[in-house]
Structure 1
C-alpha cells in the first residue's frame, strides 16, 4: 500500500486531519487498532470552544453541530452560599458549544465515507524508518493479512497508549507529567439538565460539575479519591453527594434526578511530550499531551494540533518545509498555555485537606467572579484562544 500521509488513530484528531488534507488534494490512509463501533461510542469530551466550532464550520462539518449543538455564553462558578455566572460573550466576545465527542466523530466518519476515505480498523502493527524519506507502517489487518503501508509522512493520532508516542527515541523526547491526588466519578443520567449552563462547584466535600449532553441527558462529575471503586457508589449515594455539593435547595434551586446509565472513574493527570515531531513522524492530540478535563481542553487541543499540522504537511509535500519544521514549537506554545489553564482550574476547584489551601481557593474564586480582569482571563482561555496562538 502507498499513500502520502499515513495516519495512526481514527479518533477525531486522525479523521479530521484526513479531512483537512483531502481538501488540499493530499491522500491519506487512516489505521486504527480498535473497531469502528468502539471508536464511535467512546464517551469523552462534550464542550467545543469557539475556534473548534469555527474550523468545523469552515471545512463543511458544522451543519449538524449548528442544528443540534447547544451554544453557551459562559459557565457558573459556585461555592457554598454563592453562585456566579461568568459570561464569555460579554467579556471576550466568544462562545462555547455543548456537542459531544461522539457526535463530532459521527460527523467526521460520515464525511470520510462520503469522500471515499480509507479507514482501516482493528489492526496491529509497528512503525519503521521514521527518519528516512519513506517511512512505513506494517500491520496485520482484521482478516489476519500482513500489510505494509508506505508513506511520505506518518502522523500519530493514536492517543496516550498508542505506539507512536514511544516511537520518538529516549534520547530525543522529553516528558513532563503530574498526577493529581484525586479522580472524577463521572455519570450519565437520563434526566433533563437542572441548569442552563455548566456549574463548576467548589465544596469542602470535594468538587462537583453539572454538565449536559442534550435536553434529556445530563452529565455529572464528583471529586473522589484515587483508586475509588465505582461499586462503592450507589445511585442514591451519588445523587446525595451531587445535591450537597451543587447546592440543592440553595436560593430555591433544585437538582433533578433520574436513572443513571453509566458510571466510570476518570484519573486526573497532565502530560506533555516534546518534540511533537521526529523525522517523518508527527504527533497530535493525546499522543503528545494530556490535560485534566476541568478546563475542557483535551479535544480542542487535538483539533488545534491538526489545524496547524494539515497546512504544514501540504506545504512540506510540495517542498516547503518551513511550517513543518516549526510545527512542534508552534503547537507546544498552545499546549503549555492550555496545560496551565487546566491546572489552574483544577487546583482552584478541587478541595483538599489543608485549610490554608482552602482559603486560597475561595479567595481566588471571589476574585475571578468579582473582577472583570479575572473573569476575562478565565473566559479567554475557556472559550479558546485562536488556533495560531
Structure 2
C-alpha cells in the first residue's frame, strides 16, 4: 500500500531543474515582469509531470533507462548516429558547461553567507582558483564516488528540503501580493520583451536530460518490486517532488518581484538578489536566499554529471568503470570552469541550441517507447497520448522559437 506523498527518484528531477540557472531565470522573471509569467511556470510543472511519469513508467516496466531503450529501438545506423551525436552534444558536453555554472552558483551563495573569509582570499590569491568551487566539487564527487543510489537520493532529498525551507521562507519574509500570484498563475499574459524569459522559464524546467536521469533511477529503485506497487509509489513520488520544485521556483519569482519589480532597480545575478534583500527585508532574507542558492548549486552539481553518465551508459552500454569515468570527467570540467572563472559562452550557447533540437526529438522517442506493444497493459492510454503529444507540439513551437532567436 503506497502513501499519497513520498520522496524517491523524482527528487533527482527536482534537484536537477532547481539549479543556479533556474534561480537566475526565475529571479529575472520576477524582477522584470513581476508575477505576470507565473502561468509559464505552471505549464512547465504540468509538462514535466506528464513526461516524467512516462519516463519513470518506462524504466520500471522495462527495467532499463531511456538511453538503453533508445539503443534497442533504433536499428537504422544513420538515425542512431545522429541521435547519439545530438545527445552527446546536448547532454554530455552541455552538462559539462552547466556544471561550471552549478558550482559558481553554489559559490555565490556561500560568499553571500560568509563573505570574503581570510582562508578563501589567501587560497584564491595563491592558486588563482575559486576555493568554494573546489570544495563543493570535491563534496559532490565524494558522494557520487560511493556509487550507492540510496545515499545519493538521501543527499538530494535533504538538499531539496533545504531549498524549500530557504526559498519559501524568504518569499514569506518579503510579503508577496497573493492575489497577483493567483492572477499570474491562471491568466496568461505576455508583456513586451518577455518572450525570451518565458522560453527560459520553460526550458529550465522541462529538460531532456531529466528524462534520462529519471528513467534510469526509477529502473534501479524499483528493479525488484512488483510493477503495480512500483508504479503507485512512483506516482506518489511524482506528485510530491515535481510540484515542490514548482513551488520553489514560484517562491524565487515572488521574492524577486517583491524586491525589484516596479521599483526602478536592476538585477544582474542571483547572488546580487540575496545581498539586496538585506536592506529591504532584513538579514534573515539575505541568508535564506543565499542558503537556497548554495543548496541549488550543490544539488545540480550532483545531478548534472549523473544525468550525463546515465545518458551515455544507456546509449553506448558503458560498464561501471566507464560510467564513473563519465561523471568524473563532467565534474572535473565543471570544477575547472568555475575555479578559473572561465565563461564558456560559446559551449553553453551550442548546448542550448542542441537541447532546443533534442527536447522534441527525445519527447517523440519517449512517446514511441511508451506505446510499444511490449509494455502490454502498461503502454500509454488515449488520455496519456493526448497529453504527451500536446506537450510535444508545444515543445516543437518553443524549440523553433529558441533556435530562431539563437541563430538570428
Higher-Rg structure is 1
Q: TM-score, normalised by structure 2?
A: 0.29
Q: Which has the higher strand share?
A: 1
TM-score by length of 1: 0.30
Structure number with higher relative contact order (C-alpha < 8 Å, ≥ 6 residues apart): 2
Higher helix proportion (structure 1 or 2): 2
